[in-house]
Amino acid sequence: MKKIITSILIAITYSCAHAQDKYMAYCDINCYGTTNLFSNSALLSFDFGLNNQVDLLDDNGDKLKFSSYIDAANYLAKHGWKILQVFSYSDKTMAALVGKDSNPNIIHCVLVKSVSTDEEILQGLKTSKVKEPKKKQPRQSLFGG
C-alpha cells in the first residue's frame, strides 16, 4: 500500500513540475491586403519565430488561402493559438510592390500559444518554408581586406 501511495505522490509531483515547464510561443501574421481587386484571398505571411517564414498547407500540400487575417487567425485558433494583439502601420513601399491600388497599411496579428517544446509550435499544421532570395556573396577584396 505504501508503494502505491508513494508512486501516486511521485506521479503528481512529476506532473506538477512538468506543467511549469511550459512557455509562450508567438506567431505574427502579416496581412498586406488582397492579391487583386477581384480576389477574396489576402496576401499573408506567417512568422512562427523559427528563423524563417512558412506557408500553411492543406492536406494536398497546396498553399492555404485565407480571405483575411481573421480567417487565418480562426484557422490557427483550432490548433491552440489565441490572438494577443493586432496593430497596423503604413508602408507605401510595400503597397507599390503589391499593386498601385493597394492599401499601404500592413496589419500584424500576433498570436500566442502555450507549449512545452518547440515541436509543439507547429503541431497539427502542415507547413513549407517560404523560399527566400539567395543572398549575394560578398566580393573578395583584391588587397586582402
Higher pLDDT, residue 105 or 113: 113
CA distance linking residue 76 with residue 33, whole number of Å: 19
> DSSP secondary-structure letter at 79?
T
User: pLDDT averaged over the chain?
Assistant: 79
User: What residue has cell string 505574427?
Assistant: 28
**In this predicted structure, which of 83-92, 93-102, 114-123 has the lowest mean pLDDT?**
93-102
User: What residue has cell string 518554408?
Assistant: 129
User: What residue has cell string 512538468?
Assistant: 18
Q: What is the pLDDT of residue 71?
A: 93
What's the whole-model pTM score? Answer: 0.67
CA distance linking residue 80 with residue 75, whole number of Å: 10
CA nearest to 68, candidates 95, 40, 89, 92: 40
How many C-beta atoms lie closer than 10 Å to residue 95's C-beta? 18
Q: What is the pLDDT of residue 133?
A: 47
On the question of pLDDT at 41 being above 90, the answer is no
CA distance linking residue 57 with residue 75, whole number of Å: 12
pLDDT tens per residue across span 49-97: 877 788 999 999 999 999 888 999 999 999 999 999 999 887 766 556 6
Going by pLDDT thresholds of 50, 70 and 90, the confidence category of residue 117 is very high
> DSSP secondary-structure letter at 138?
P
Going by pLDDT thresholds of 50, 70 and 90, the confidence category of residue 39 is low
CA distance linking residue 98 with residue 103, whole number of Å: 9
What is the helix, strand, coil percentage profile of the chain, to 5?
25, 35, 40
CA distance linking residue 101 with residue 26, whole number of Å: 32
